[in-house]
């Protein structure tokens, strides 16, 4: 059994807290809420032309493109009678992601995540600032038949994508503790600190840099006229690093007023995974083929979050027996780290059948299973001391305050998720120049996160005042506990994609697309605090409680959303071996007030057949 010792340092002065004080210390909040998730963590790397916004999940199997065919099954080997190679480069602008303004955890954040996932719905976002969604700055892909004369059955390919983005540093609103100048862990402000003037005289770093490299290689082989096999290997490396620091000085040259506030924070995250896929495709008849795929991914992500806070405030000559003066100190050090080790398995089957020379049907099914092990550790320490004196008429008021906080925790947990995705598409060539593709897709996801943190926490606060309204208060709490957190999400999504291509001439082609998506999801959260011991000391005496629990249950949240994405594209081919594609994708969301434009994304692509 773990033991704890209550250490109380009796220092100086604070004033009574206002009724609406907001706590900076959330004693029953778990650390996993402060871990920053990204959509691609523990997700297979997919190189998807035309995959902009919501079209990313539906375009494979809908449009005729060799890279989209490989995304369905690596055994769909590259064929092109016009040449031995196929090169593609695309460039797209970043999307602006705006989370809802209400920062209440976690359900409003599900809306953004639900529309951007691939196989597994990412963990709900905890960040409420507006910022840019990560998108590849450049994408390169090349497919070829290296030995077209001697071994035409062999095809090879490679892809590369670069993500690089810089923006202002964004903090974690769902943090366990964040110190605020002049306030203790309960939000109690010391007398005289409410209006402390703070001016940014110097600001250091304020940046967040994100960079990722995505690489894959393909190999396919036609074993017989009816049997093809293929393989893919992929590697993803991603780094996120940001820091914020400032020194705030005010009236530094004055002997009467002094103010100083320093705040340094940085967050680092490193992710990487290896993945491999195998595919098989067999021609059942001359017009029907069946494919099987299996993929495995293993990776890890590490995150660290150190902070160093400090504050100092002074007013007037300290300890002047006849004047008014005040002084306030603060200090805070935090060191938190997370590690996620996970794997993902994807099993799929696809069927392609030509009903007539002008009509074709595609069916796809994928099952995904994800397992992640979590390890976390946190160390939070903060303390302060303050004194002040002022007089009114003949009455002298003196205030003294002190507070301290120590929170040391460690633990771990698991994430398990599974999803099913079934899609079907119908392709109809309406003539020599017009092709219509209509599809449907159903997705079902269930995800559960369980963590357990062992916490040893000690906190105390004391203040007293003299004058017309003399007051004294003291409170301290020491506890040893386990925080057991359970968070579950389930999502159901129906998507109807539609594409129409019109070849106006050998040099010009038009593309119109529509993606209508209806999503519903549920989320539940329960935190169980199991206390081994809690020791409380205040003016009323000492209270000890052992072996008890407190449960915190969030109401079940049910939400839904309907989203419409449009695609308009122009393909210009100056020569048979060169094509340039321009595509714009506006996204609209149905709200209580009608349909609103969410964002617009542009895409430029270049394809060359050497």
Range with lowest mean pLDDT among 48-52, 97-101, 310-314? 97-101
Find tokens 């809690």 and name the residue. Answer: 534
Task: Note the pLDDT tens digit of each residue in 125-153.
Answer: 333 333 456 778 899 999 998 888 888 88
Cα separation, 117 vs 105, whole angstroms:
20
Largest alpha-carbon pair distance within the chain? 106
Task: Note the pLDDT tens digit of each residue in 355-364.
Answer: 999 999 999 9
Pairing mode, strands 359-392 and 395-429: antiparallel
Beta-bridged to residue 96, according to DSSP, are 132
Average pLDDT over residues 292-312: 90
Q: Are 26 and 177 in contact (CB under 8 A)?
A: yes
Task: Note the pLDDT tens digit of each residue in 85-108.
Answer: 899 998 876 554 444 333 333 333
Local structure of residue 114 (DSSP, 8 states) = H
Task: Note the pLDDT tens digit of each residue in 374-425.
Answer: 999 999 888 778 877 777 777 888 888 888 889 999 999 999 999 999 999 9
Range with lowest mean pLDDT among 59-73, 177-191, 255-269, 535-549? 177-191
Find tokens 């069927």 and name the residue. Answer: 351
Which of 123, 553, 125, 134 lies closest to 372 in space, CA to CA? Answer: 123
- pLDDT above 70: percentage of residues in the chain: 77
Average pLDDT over residues 469-493: 89
Cα separation, 90 vs 83, whole angstroms:
21
In degrees, to the nearest 5, what angle opens at C-alpha 163 toward C-alphas 160 and 169?
Answer: 165
As a residue count, the chain comes to: 610
What is the per-residue pLDDT for 538? 87
pLDDT at residue 181 tops 60: no
Burial of 167 (0-12, 13-18, 19+ CB in 10 A): middle
What is the per-residue pLDDT for 516? 92
pLDDT at residue 264 tops 50: yes
Cα separation, 191 vs 183, whole angstroms:
10
* Mean pLDDT for the chain overall: 80
**Going by C-beta distance under 8 Å and a sequence separation of 6 or more, which residues neighbour residue 382?**
177, 179, 185, 309, 330, 331, 332, 333, 404, 405
Tokens representing 380 are 């939070």
Task: Note the pLDDT tens digit of each residue in 210-221.
Answer: 899 999 999 999
Beta-bridged to residue 359, according to DSSP, are 356, 428
Q: Is the pTM of this model over 0.75?
A: yes
Q: Are 231 and 218 in contact (CB under 8 A)?
A: yes
Average pLDDT over residues 30-46: 88
What is the per-residue pLDDT for 187? 41
Find tokens 């969410």 and name the residue. Answer: 598
């Amino acid at each position: 059994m773990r033991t704890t010792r209550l250490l109380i340092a009796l220092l100086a002065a604070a004033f009574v807290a206002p009724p609406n004080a907001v706590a900076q210390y959330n004693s029953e909040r778990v650390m996993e809420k402060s871990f920053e998730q990204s959509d691609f963590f523990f997700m297979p790397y997919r190189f998807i032309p035309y995959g902009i916004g919501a079209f990313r999940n539906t375009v494979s199997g809908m449009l005729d493109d060799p890279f989209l065919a490989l995304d369905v099954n690596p055994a769909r080997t590259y064929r092109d009678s016009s040449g031995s190679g196929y090169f593609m480069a695309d460039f797209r602008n970043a999307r602006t992601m705006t989370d809802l303004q209400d920062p209440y955890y976690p359900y409003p954040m599900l809306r953004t995540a639900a529309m951007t996932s691939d196989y597994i719905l990412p963990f709900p976002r905890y960040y409420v600032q507006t910022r840019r969604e990560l998108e590849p700055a450049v994408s390169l892909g090349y497919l070829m038949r290296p030995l077209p004369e001697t071994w035409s059955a062999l095809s090879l390919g490679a892809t590369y994508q670069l993500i690089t983005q810089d923006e202002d540093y964004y903090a974690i609103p769902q943090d366990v503790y964040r110190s605020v100048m002049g306030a203790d862990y309960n939000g109690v402000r010391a007398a005289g600190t409410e209006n402390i003037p703070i001016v940014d005289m110097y600001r250091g770093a304020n940046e967040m840099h994100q960079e990722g490299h995505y690489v894959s290689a393909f190999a396919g082989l036609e074993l017989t006229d009816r049997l093809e096999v293929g393989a893919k290997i992929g590697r993803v490396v991603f780094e996120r690093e940001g820091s914020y620091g400032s020194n705030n000085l005010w009236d530094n040259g004055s002997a009467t007023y002094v103010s100083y506030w320093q705040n340094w924070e940085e967050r680092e995250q490193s992710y990487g995974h290896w993945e491999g896929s195998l595919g098989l495709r067999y021609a059942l008849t001359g017009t029907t083929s069946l494919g099987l795929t299996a993929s495995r991914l293993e990776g890890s992500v590490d995150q660290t979050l150190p902070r160093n806070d400090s504050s100092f405030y002074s007013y007037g000559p300290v300890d002047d027996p006849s004047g008014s003066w005040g002084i306030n100190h603060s200090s805070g050090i935090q060191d938190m780290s997370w590690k996620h080790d996970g794997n993902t398995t994807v099993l799929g089957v696809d069927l392609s059948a030509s009903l007539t020379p002008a009509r074709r049907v595609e069916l796809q099914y994928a099952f995904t299973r994800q397992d992640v092990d979590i390890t976390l550790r946190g160390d939070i320490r903060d303390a302060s001391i303050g004194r002040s004196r002022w007089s009114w008429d003949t009455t002298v008021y003196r205030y003294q305050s002190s507070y301290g906080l120590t929170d040391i925790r460690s633990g771990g947990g698991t994430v398990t998720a599974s999803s099913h995705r079934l899609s079907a598409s119908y392709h109809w060539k309406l003539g020599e120049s017009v092709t219509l593709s209509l599809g449907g897709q159903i997705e079902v996801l269930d995800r559960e996160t369980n963590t357990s943190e062992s916490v040893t926490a000690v906190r105390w606060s004391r203040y007293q005042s003299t004058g017309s309204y003399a007051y004294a208060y003291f409170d301290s709490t020491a506890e040893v506990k386990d925080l057991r957190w359970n968070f579950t999400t389930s999502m159901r999504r129906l998507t109807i994609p539609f594409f129409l291509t019109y070849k106006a001439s050998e040099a010009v082609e038009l593309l119109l697309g529509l993606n209508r998506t209806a999503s519903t999801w549920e989320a539940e959260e329960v935190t169980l605090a199991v206390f081994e011991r809690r020791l409380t000391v205040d003016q009323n005496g000492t209270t000890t409680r052992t072996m008890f629990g407190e449960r915190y249950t969030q109401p079940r949240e049910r939400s839904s959303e309907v989203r419409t994405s449009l695609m308009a594209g122009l393909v210009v081919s100056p020569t048979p071996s060169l094509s340039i594609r321009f595509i714009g994708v506006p996204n609209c969301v149905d709200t209580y007030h009608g349909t609103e434009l969410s964002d617009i994304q542009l895409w430029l692509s270049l394809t060359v057949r050497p």
